Amino acid sequence: MLQSFIQNIFNALQWGSFYSLIALGYCLVYGVLLLINFAHGDIFMVGAYIAFYVCMLFLGKFGIIPGMPGWLVLALAVPLTMMLTAVVGVTLERVAYRPLRRKGVNRLYVVITALMCGLILEHANLALLGASRRSFPTLIPTTVYNIAGVNITNVKMGVILVAILAFFFLRFVVVKTKIGMAMRAISYDRFAVPLMGIPADSVIVFTFVLGSGFAGLAGLLFAVTYPVLDPYMGALIGWKAFIAAVVGGIGSIRGAFAGGFLLGFVEIMVVAFFPSTLRDLIAFTILLLILSVKPTGLFGVARRTKI
Amino acid sequence: MALLEVKDMTQYFGGLCAVTDFSVTFTGGELMGLIGPNGAGKTTVFNLISGFYQPSCGDIVFKGKNTRGLKPHKVTGLGIARTFQNIRLWFDMSVLDNILVSQYYHLGYSLWDCFVRSNRYLRREAEMRAWGMEILEALDLAQFADELPGNLPYGIQRRVEIARALSTKPDLLMLDEPAAGLNSADVEGLIKLIAWIHKEFKLSIWMIEHQMDVVMSLCTWIKVIDFGATIAEGTPKEIRENPVVIKAYLGDDAI
Amino acid sequence: MKQYTIPALLALLLAVLVFVSMTGAMNVYWQSVLMFMGINIILSSSLNIINGNMGEFSCGHAGFMAVGAYVSSVLSVLLFAEGSVFGEALLPPHLAVFLFPFILVAGGVAASLVGLLVAVPSFRTRGDYLAIITIAAAYIVKSTIENINAIGGARGFMGMSKVTAAMNTTADLPWMIIWVFLGTVFSVWLIRRFIFSTLGNGVNAVCQDEIAAEIMSVNTNQVKMTAFMVSCGLAGIAGALFAHVLGYVNPGSFTILKSTEVMVMVYLGGMGSLSGSVLSAILITLLMEALRPLQIIKWIVIPLLLVLLMQFRPEGIMGNRELSDIFPGLKKFYRLKG
């Protein structure tokens, strides 16, 4: 009983790690631009596909370069995937969001554009690569450590560790560095920031680089853990990560991190004790209840309106 | 029975005491001023009385009814209307629609009446429209009834906001810096308008204002607050000569 | 005389529609396109109350549609169709035609009650949080349906075609066309009366400045609740029609993609413009049909269209104006106010 409970905790930590990594990206962009980047879940999906092609390339499957050992491929794939996914994110920013921001239109229009960009990414992928699912190659052999009856794999440990490191890294960037300070400044007053000599657009691009980069990392890790890719994989997990970010208190790095793990726990525990078809139902109901009781989320702070 | 009775109203924002032990009584028909340096808590007093904030302690009794826990629309429905420091009209609605919507509390028909266009619906809509036009005409705004407020000059927008507040049929009208941003010609018109409204609609008016000539020429009684605390009250003449007030406005060394 | 022009034209249109579908002048394909067009008009004009007039961002319209679809389907199958699920029909089939409007309304009422689920949290939150609540609500609805085995779970629910067949025992008419037509006219008529009254104008006031609205005596909670219930209720009616037109429903029809489709119609038409919503529902339905051969590319073209629209004409086709603002001559045919 206890063993299976601890086992579930580890599963939840791993599952929550994915949510956290994606939620962090939502949170960064929202924190700076007050924009729900609805395309973020699909950027995660694109990240997984990029990881797939990068790995296939280095494994020598395309015949362009000779195959390399799995650990080296993984080591190369992590930075490369993050960079390429960041390029996708920044492209969206440049092509779709920035022109709208320049025109100073209603915030809602940017949100709709984001939602539509997500759909375009999904279906462009579907149209280009076809509906067949892809299976991700095995890069490193899974080792199972059995500690007192609890199975922990090296992949699982890696995922959890990466999520925690990502959290501390992002928190460091936002709280301690100069560019983090600029990001926070933009979230307070986007119009005053350029007047203070801060290059707002570069800061925003940097935000997208960070957010999309970590979505790409999440995509890679997800593909390593669950080696089946399909174009719709980002939609549901993206929505859920977004909900996790809101429950944590959107705009708060801590909140996004905690919200992701909370959602992971709820889902894994529901599956452990109830039929798995009830997972979404119970998870969403719990989140809705949290939001009704505390509308600003767990770590969110209400902005006081002045009259 | 007093119209409005505020007793020892205190409001904390976190550790900050924005308003301390504020008391005021309106018996009906006054024209009172509320002045004080910037950040003294004047608008907070209005926000508390209109129900936008709930006071930390103290009571607000309007027409014998304690307004604690009432939502702002209920308080307005009871008869306290106000304007805003920075104009908050509904800018995508015509002037007349602005006036109509602010009669929402006295709507008097249900969603069902609205669907079936019952007699009650038709009668009430016509009545509200007539009352709205009456107000607009009284304030010399009738020719702007179908305009969007954003297309009107600033002075007219101020007047529309006063008209909107009047359309809720208040017994106490609170004006939050009605002269802010107006030029001197407009200010003179405003002084006449407020005096006329006070006489014509037979209501109590309470105004926050920084322009002393407006306050001094209109108000019969003035309260002065600074850092949330009432530091003086009296007739305009008394206030003008009160050393405490002068100190609050100009600082210690100025005299 | 002039206020009868529009009803007369509508009656004529209905008569023509019934005539051409009975004689076979209009084939089944076009009949179904027209019916979906009607349903889309109801969906977009009802979502327009929330996303357009109230300026909120609801992504869960398909969820409310699903509630209406399932409640009405279960009711109509229970009453008029014999099947494996509920056994014998409870009422004789010739009553189907007379009771069908009530079944539609029951679907709408059920959906508007579920709409409360979203309306109540909306009292305290706005914008982004509400978007999440609506998405969550839509997932909860879908997931609940998938978990009730009695109504088919994820496989779906059928038997409604027996009900439409039962209607033909009374009179052999293309009943679903008539119902969709009446439902569409009813919905637009209802929304128009709501939105152009002072009661409905409260919704616009909440959108433009909620704090000012509350302080100027508008009961904002009541306004939001009313708007959500009207909007969700009409979505439920649309869902009920949808289920009976298709003859079967499954939870897969009510995904975020469906909500997105409706949102596209609202924003293409122009936020807060009723005639814009109606026009764009017609346009999008035709466009969807025209793009059908492209299959998956369709779902690239339509979002792309909206992205471009947001870049170059974000106010949509109509902005927040109505047809009568553009063609003042139309005003003499109907009164918007009073």
- Please give the share of chain C, as a percent, with pLDDT higher than 90: 40
Distance, in Å, from the CA atom of C78 to the CA atom of C89, rounded to the nearest integer, reads 6
Are C338 and B122 within 8 A, CB to CB? yes
Distance from CA of B192 to the nearest CA of A (A): 27
For residue B162, give both structure tokens.
Answer: 């006063």
Would you state the pLDDT for residue C174?
87
Over range B112-124, report the average pLDDT.
Answer: 92
The whole-number pLDDT of residue B241 equals 87
Average pLDDT of span A7-14 = 88
Cα of A20 to nearest chain C Cα, Å: 17
Q: Quick one: which H or E segment has residue B246?
A: helix B243-250
- A122 reaches C (C-beta below 8 A): yes
Predicted confidence at residue A61, as pLDDT, reads 76
Report C:221-280 residues touching A (Cβ under 8 A). Answer: 256-257, 260, 263-264, 267, 271
Q: How far is C198 from chain A (nearest CA, A)?
A: 25
Report the distance separating Cα C207 and Cα C280, nearest Å: 22
Between chain B and chain C, how many beta carbons pairs sit less than 8 Å apart? 103
pLDDT at A186: 87
CATH of A2-293, one of 3.50.4, 1.20.120, 1.10.260, 1.10.3470: 1.10.3470
DSSP for residue C295: G
Element (H, E) at B34: strand B31-35
Q: Which of C105, C217, C225 to mutate to test the interface with B (most CBs of B within 10 A)?
A: C217
Tokens of C79: 């009453």
Tell me what the mean pLDDT of segment A43-61 comes to. Answer: 90
Question: H-helix or E-strand containing B66?
Answer: strand B65-66
User: Residue B205: phi, psi to the nearest 5?
Assistant: -120, 135
The pair phi, psi for residue B153, each rounded to 5°, is -65, 160
Does any CB of chain A come closer than 8 Å to the CB of residue B85? yes
Minimal CA separation from C147 to chain A, in Å: 7
Distance from CA of B255 to the nearest CA of A (A): 34
Joined together, the tokens standing for residue B197 give: 């409204």
CA distance to partner chain A, nearest, from residue C5 (Å): 38
- The total of structural domains in chain B comes to 1
- Using a CB-CB cut-off of 8 Å, the residues of chain A touching C124 are 295
Binding partners of C (≥3 Cβ pairs within 8 A): A, B
Neighbouring chains to A with at least 3 Cβ pairs closer than 8 Å:
B, C
pLDDT tens sequence across C20-75: 888 888 888 889 999 999 999 999 999 999 998 988 888 889 999 999 999 999 99
- Overall average pLDDT of the B89-115 stretch: 92
Do C304 and A123 make contact, defined as CB atoms within 8 angstroms? no
Average pLDDT, chain A: 86
**Are B104 and C219 within 8 A, CB to CB?**
yes
**Residue ranges of chain A whose CB lies within 8 Å of a chain B CB:** 307
Question: Which 8-state DSSP code applies to residue B45?
Answer: H
State the pLDDT at residue C1: 55
* Upper half-sphere CA count for residue C325 (Cβ side, 13 Å): 10
Are B129 and B100 within 8 A, CB to CB? Answer: yes
Rounded Cα distance, A57 and A77, in Å: 10
Domain, as residue range, for B67: 4-254
Q: Are C287 and C302 a contacting pair, CB within 8 Å?
A: yes
Domains and CATH numbers, chain C: 2-333 (1.10.3470)
Is the Cβ–Cβ distance between C173 and C96 less than 8 Å?
Answer: no
Q: Mean pLDDT, to the nearest integer, of A250-254?
A: 82
C116-162 tens-digit pLDDT: 877 887 777 766 778 888 888 898 999 999 988 888 888 888 888 88
Sign of CA dihedral A145, A150, A151, A152: negative
Can you say whether the dihedral through the CA atoms of B13, B14, B20, B22 is positive or negative?
positive
What is the reported pLDDT for B79? 92
Give the span between the Cα atoms of A237 and A227, in whole angstroms: 15
Query: Residue A305: pLDDT band by 50, 70, 90 thresholds?
Result: low
pTM of this prediction exceeds 0.95: no
The answer on pLDDT for C337 being more than 50 is no
Please tell me whether residue B1 adopts helix, strand or coil conformation: coil
Per DSSP, what are the bridge partners of residue A229?
Answer: A134
**Cβ contacts of B129 on chain C, cutoff 8 Å:** 338
Cβ-Cβ contacts under 8 Å, C57 against chain A = 108, 111
Q: Say whether A123 and C297 touch across the interface (CB within 8 A).
A: yes
Residues 6+ apart with CB under 8 A from B239: B35, B222, B224, B232, B233, B245
pLDDT at B141: 93
- pLDDT tens per residue, range C259-297: 988 988 998 888 888 999 999 999 999 998 898 888 778
Measure CA of the first residue to CA of the last residue in chain A; give whole Å: 57
Angle at C218 (CA atoms; ends C213, C222), nearest 5 degrees? 115
Provide the H-helix boundaries in chain C.
Answer: 5-23, 28-47, 61-80, 96-122, 128-147, 160-167, 175-195, 198-208, 210-215, 220-246, 256-269, 274-290, 298-312, 323-326
Q: Tell me the Cα Rg of chain B.
A: 19
CATH of the domain at B203: 3.40.50.300
Angstroms from C314 CA to nearest CA on chain A: 7
Q: H or E stretch including A228?
A: strand A228-229
Structure-derived torsion over alpha carbons of residues A163, A168, A170, A175, reported in degrees to the nearest 10: 160
**pLDDT > 70: percent of chain C:** 96
Q: For residue B43, list chain A residues with Cβ-Cβ distance below 8 A.
A: 307
Q: Is the pLDDT of residue A263 over 70?
A: yes
Distances (CA, A) of C186 to B27, C62, C182, C237: 53, 20, 6, 10
Does C96 contact chain A (CB < 8 Å)? no
**Domain ranges in chain A?**
2-293
Is B134 a residue whose pLDDT tops 60? yes
- Name the amino acid, one letter, at B139: L
Tell me how close the Cα of B34 comes to any Cα of chain A, in angstroms. 17
> A82: pLDDT confidence band, cut at 50, 70 and 90?
very high
* Chain segment A139-162, per-residue pLDDT in tens: 778 888 887 777 788 888 889 999
**Contact across the interface for C204 and B90, Cβ inside 8 Å:** yes
The beta-carbon neighbor of A242 closest among C132, C144, C257 is C132
pLDDT digit string (tens) for B41-75?
899 999 999 999 999 999 999 999 999 889 999 99
Tell which of C258, C260, C261, C300 to mutate to test the A interface (max A CBs under 10 Å): C300
Which of A252, A284, A290 to probe the C interface (max C CBs under 10 A)?
Answer: A284
Listed in sequence order, the residues at least 6 apart from A94 whose beta carbon sits closer than 8 Å to its beta carbon are A205
Asked if pLDDT for residue B223 goes beyond 90, the answer is: yes
Give me the residue label for tokens 């539509």: A116
The pLDDT tens digits for B146-204 are 999 999 999 899 999 999 999 999 999 999 999 988 888 889 999 999 999 999 989 99
Name which of A69, A35, A34 is nearest A55 in CA terms: A69
How far, in Å, CA of C293 to CA of A200, rounded?
Answer: 44
Rounded mean pLDDT of chain C?
A: 87
- Is the pLDDT score of B1 beyond 60? yes
pLDDT tens per residue, range C296-309: 788 888 888 888 88
Beta partners for residue A280, in sequence order:
none
The confidence band for C338, taking pLDDT boundaries of 50, 70 and 90, is very low
Residue of B51, B107, B129 with shortest CB distance to C199: B107
Asked if pLDDT for residue C332 goes beyond 70, the answer is no
Integer Cα distance of B108 and A79 in angstroms: 66
Q: Which residues of chain B make contact with C219, given a CB cutoff of 8 A?
A: 71, 73, 104-105
pLDDT at site A302: 67
* Strand bridging mode B221-226 / B229-234: antiparallel
Nearest to C193 by CA among C222, C228, C230: C230
Separation CA C306–CA C268 (nearest Å):
7
Q: Tell me, what amino acid is at A98?
A: R
Radius of gyration of chain A (CA): 20
Q: Which residue of A has its CA nearest to C133?
A: A288
Q: Which chain B residues are closer than 8 Å to A307 by Cβ? A: 43, 47, 52, 84-85, 88
